[in-house]
């Protein structure tokens, strides 16, 4: 997520340093961009588990190792950016939960138990979704909805890829298939919401259409759990979708639309 990460670094580096004699500066009010680091946590919770599984399966192993290390650093930076936000008690509680789950997951990613990584990935996903929701509520406007919806598509794509890799490791349970179906339905519905958003510019519409084309390819591969030859396609396409939805989120931020609320309640983002 290079562009989003660059923005996070810029945000954290621009924080003013208080002088010894002056009172601490009053924190800036929350803005729509403050949803981004929570979105990074939510996405990376699933992506890092996916990359861990890829390495175990020896699928694009070298690039997966590099992306795993980079993703861990990105998640650390996202937590730093979130820690600098003006925190209400609700946001502070959600942030503590995210930090707790991430610290354990970070350790497990160094060769820990796969089942525990999956559990922590889901716990962090839900906690980060709650944090994003708390930030949206504090904003007091619907301006962050399209940004959040775009970033949540990243998480759904990474979750689907993680569940696919989990199946390749031997989990062919009914619960896994149900989780995949639920995430697949939500991704498709949310993509439709984004496509029809009144705030879309021509550029945003074209970016969403490119993501839709990748989604059709991705969905076809996901449907064939028994075909190990498609695992590389799942790995690479999930990364492409993430890049495209990052671009859409940034475009929404640049246009700064005041958009109506979207019907986007989700067990992956709002619990």
Full DSSP string of 207-230: HHHHHHHHHHHHHHHHT-TT-GGG
Does residue 117 lie in a domain region? yes
Tell me what pLDDT residue 262 has. Answer: 32
The pLDDT of residue 254: 81
pLDDT at site 25: 57
User: Residue 260: its pLDDT value, please?
Assistant: 34
Examine residue 9 and state whether it is found in any structural domain, yes or no. Answer: no
167 token code pair: 């199946």
Look at residue 148 in the predicted model and tell me its pLDDT.
84
pLDDT-flagged residues of the chain (< 70): 1-27, 32, 140-143, 256-271
In sequence order, the 6+-apart residues with CB closer than 8 A to the CB of 33 are 7, 11, 147, 253
Radius of gyration of the CA atoms of the chain, in A = 18
- Residue 112 belongs to a domain: yes
Range of the domain at 71: 33-255
Note the pLDDT of residue 111. Answer: 84
Task: Please report whether residue 270 resides in a domain.
Answer: no
Structure tokens at 1: 């997520």
Which ranges of the chain would DSSP assign to H, the alpha helix? 2-13, 35-57, 61-83, 89-108, 114-139, 145-168, 174-195, 202-222, 231-255
21 within some domain: no
**Residue 135's pLDDT is what?**
86
Residue 152 lies in a domain: yes
Residue 16 lies in a domain: no
Q: Are 28 and 128 in contact (CB under 8 A)?
A: no
Tokens representing 81 are 């950016």
CB 186 within 8 A of CB 266: yes
**How many domains does one find in the chain?**
1
What is the C-alpha separation between 143 and 79, in angstroms, rounded?
23
Within-domain flag for 96:
yes
pTM of the model: 0.83
Nearest alpha carbon to residue 49 among 174, 171, 209: 171
Which tokens hold the place of 140?
A: 């007091």
Q: What's the CA gap between 242 and 209, in Å, rounded?
A: 14
Structure tokens at 143: 């301006």
């Amino acid at each position: 997520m290079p562009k989003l990460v660059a923005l996070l670094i810029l945000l954290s580096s621009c924080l003013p340093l208080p002088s010894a004699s002056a009172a601490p500066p009053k924190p800036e009010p929350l803005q729509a961009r403050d949803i981004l680091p929570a979105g990074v946590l939510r996405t990376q919770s699933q992506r890092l588990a996916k990359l861990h599984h890829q390495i175990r399966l020896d699928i694009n192993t070298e690039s997966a190792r590099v992306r795993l290390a980079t993703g861990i650093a990105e998640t650390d930076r996202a937590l730093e950016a979130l820690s600098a936000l003006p925190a209400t008690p609700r946001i502070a509680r959600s942030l503590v939960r995210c930090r707790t789950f991430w610290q354990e997951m970070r350790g497990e990613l160094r060769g820990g138990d796969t089942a525990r990584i999956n559990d922590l990935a889901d716990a962090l996903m839900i906690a980060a979704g709650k944090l994003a929701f708390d930030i949206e509520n504090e904003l007091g406007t619907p301006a962050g909805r399209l940004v959040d919806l775009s970033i949540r598509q990243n998480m759904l794509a990474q979750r689907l890829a993680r569940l696919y890799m989990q199946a390749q490791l031997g989990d062919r349970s009914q619960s896994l298939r149900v989780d995949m179906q639920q995430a697949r339905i939500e991704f498709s519905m949310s993509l439709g919401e984004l496509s029809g958003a009144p705030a879309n510019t021509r550029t945003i519409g074209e970016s969403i259409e490119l993501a839709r084309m990748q989604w059709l390819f991705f969905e076809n591969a996901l449907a064939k759990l028994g075909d190990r030859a498609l695992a590389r396609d799942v790995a690479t396409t999930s990364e492409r979708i993430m890049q495209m939805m990052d671009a859409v989120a940034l475009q929404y931020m640049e246009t700064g639309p005041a958009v109506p609320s979207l019907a986007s309640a989700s067990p992956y983002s709002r619990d």
